[in-house]
Amino acid sequence: MRKVITGEQVAQLYNRDPFALPVWRAPVYQTPAGIMLVVQLVRLLAWLVRLIARHPVAATAVAVLVLAWLNVGWLGLVLLAAWAVVVLAAWRFFWPSSFTRWITGPARGAWRGWWCYRRRWAGVMAISGVAPWHQGRVVLPVLGKVTATKYIDRVAVRLVSGQSPADLARCAENLAHGFGALLCRVRTARAGAVLLEFVRRDALAQLVPALPVPLHPDLRALPVGKREDGLPWLVRLHGTHLLIAGATGAGKASLLWSLVRAILPAMQLGLVRVLAADPKLMELAFGRIIFETYGQYAADPEAIAVMLEHAVADMQERAARFAGKRRDHVPTVNEPFVVVLVDEVAFLTAYQRDRKLRERIMAALATLTTQGRAVGYAVVAALQDPRKDVLSIRNLFPDRIAMRLDEPEQTDMVLGDGARDRGAACELIATDPATGAGVAFVRLETDPDPVRVRAGWVSDADIWDMTAQVATRRLEEVPA
């Protein structure tokens, strides 16, 4: 017979209104202690495996120390530590680059990753406004690997779903102050992720002296200065064209002479010829013997037009010989790499009064920039005013360098749309020659993010040394 429970009994059981609906409560089960112990042991083992996989060198060192202590005692640990110090010191002295790559760099990245970022990540992200509120909780961008140099920290960040790199770029100044850096730039890494560059020390604050002339120059990686992260600034000439824009006193001359200095050995071997156009008769004329020996020098606009037209004819003749046989150019003595170096190109393209002469020069430069890359011709043009009516073919230069400019809008004219939003504030470069001359932002064809650099300062004495070397060689080649 079924037992009937009255309302009063229900009220006594649930201690609530007898007319209220009954509330179902899930039963509570107690997990056995043995199962909990097994789960915790599995978690500990997984953590140890991940730790060893992430830090194999440190794990090996700890294992060696433990074995030494178990077999020899404290004396073994002391001797082993002394031996490790000697090995590391020798490694640091004889192979500094590999020591930095494998020891100093990872150690610096791990330390800054914890001290500068991980312990302050939640607070800075929330206060900066890049941690959205979703379903009653704060959702943080995920902090990834931190790679650090003496000057720059690169922090990998995985964005929250629905965020874009522009959301972090708008708060870049907040992030820089929050993490104690001088500057913060947002680089696009991949879909859903960005790379934050925190500049902690300015590697370009001091004047960069002229770099030594390389013994074996690589035309795809010519050293001309220093990058913001402390690494050498390498410029590619072979297979591209280069546009340099900068106001008066920005340091364009030092950059041009740094390029000449970097390719001088190849010029002496006959692998490179330079066609120099110097309408101002000021900068390149100082070392014109170099160009007259290993190429050609022209200053008069008519002579420059003739030189460029001859270059176009030679280029087209070489292209006809390469057609159907070769796709890439390799510099040789018979087929040298030709650099067309034009200083202050605006004097030839915008300020030239002779319309026919201006059209000839523009047509020659347009032909060289559109057809010359594959057959070993590169155009390097420098100008002060980057407006379209000054140089209408500026988009034909794949690689561009923007030095100090007068107006914020000019940065995007040179480096492309959005370059200033990505950190290339060219108008803020210091006008003081000691701190701002030669400083620039570079945008390569293969990388849309601008990189801050500084060209080496080539003094008059450095140019005289190069011209003296060339003059001495010319005298040695003259038959007795």
- The answer to whether 370 and 396 have CB atoms below 8 angstroms apart is yes
pLDDT at 438 over 80: yes
Q: Using an 8 Å Cβ cutoff, are 408 and 418 in contact?
A: no
Q: Is 341 helix (H, G, I), strand (E, B) or coil?
A: strand
| Predicted local confidence at residue 307, as pLDDT | 95
Inform me whether the pLDDT recorded for 403 exceeds 90: yes
Percent above pLDDT 90 for the chain: 46
Q: With 80 as the cut, is the pLDDT of residue 17 above it? A: no
Select from 404, 365, 403, 358 the least CA-distant residue to 381. 365
> Coil, strand, or helix at residue 263?
helix
Alpha carbon distance 139, 159 (integer Å): 10
Mean pLDDT of 189-205: 89
Residue 275 pLDDT > 70: yes
Q: Give the per-residue pLDDT at 287.
A: 86
CB-based contacts of 54, cutoff 8 Å, min separation 6: none
Q: What is the mean pLDDT of residues 67-94?
A: 80
Superfamily of domain 222-475, CATH level 4: P-loop containing nucleotide triphosphate hydrolases (3.40.50.300)
Highest mean pLDDT among 74-78, 160-164, 363-367, 473-477 belongs to: 363-367
Evaluate if residue 221 carries a pLDDT over 60: yes
Predicted local distance difference test score (pLDDT) of residue 96: 87
Question: Comparing 6-20, 274-288, 407-421, which segment has the lowest mean pLDDT?
Answer: 6-20
What is the mean pLDDT of the segment spanning 182-210?
89
| pLDDT tens figures, 105-120 | 888 998 999 999 999 9
d(CA 185, CA 449) in angstroms, rounded, equals 10
Q: Domain map of the chain by residue range?
A: 109-132+139-199, 222-475
- The 3-state DSSP class for residue 73 equals coil
Give me the mean pLDDT over the 332-357 stretch.
90
**Quick one: pLDDT at residue 80?**
75
pLDDT at 34 over 90: no
324 burial via Cβ count (<10 Å: 0-12, 13-18, 19+): exposed
Distances, alpha carbon 1 to alpha carbons 4, 8, 232, in Å: 9, 21, 94
- The Cα 281–Cα 297 span in angstroms is 11
In this predicted structure, the answer to whether residue 12 has a pLDDT above a threshold of 70 is no
Helices (H), 154-246: 165-169, 172-178
CA distance 200 to 426: 20
pTM of the model: 0.79
> What whole-number percentage of the chain has pLDDT above 70?
92
Q: Which residues pair with 223 in a beta bridge?
A: 234
User: Bigger pLDDT: 53 or 37?
Assistant: 37
Most confident range (mean pLDDT) of 22-26, 28-32, 387-391 is 387-391
Please give the average per-residue pLDDT across 344-358, as a whole number. Answer: 87
Instruction: Work out the number of other CB atoms within 10 angstroms of the CB of residue 102.
Output: 13
Mean pLDDT of the chain: 87
Buried b / exposed e along 331-346 (16+ C-beta atoms within 10 A) = beeebbbbbbbbbbbb
Whether residue 173 is predicted with pLDDT greater than 60 in this model: the reply is: yes
Give the right CATH number for 109-132+139-199 from 3.30.300.30, 3.30.980.40, 3.20.20.80, 3.30.420.40: 3.30.980.40
As a whole number of angstroms, the distance between CA 415 and CA 402 comes to 7
pLDDT of residue 119: 92
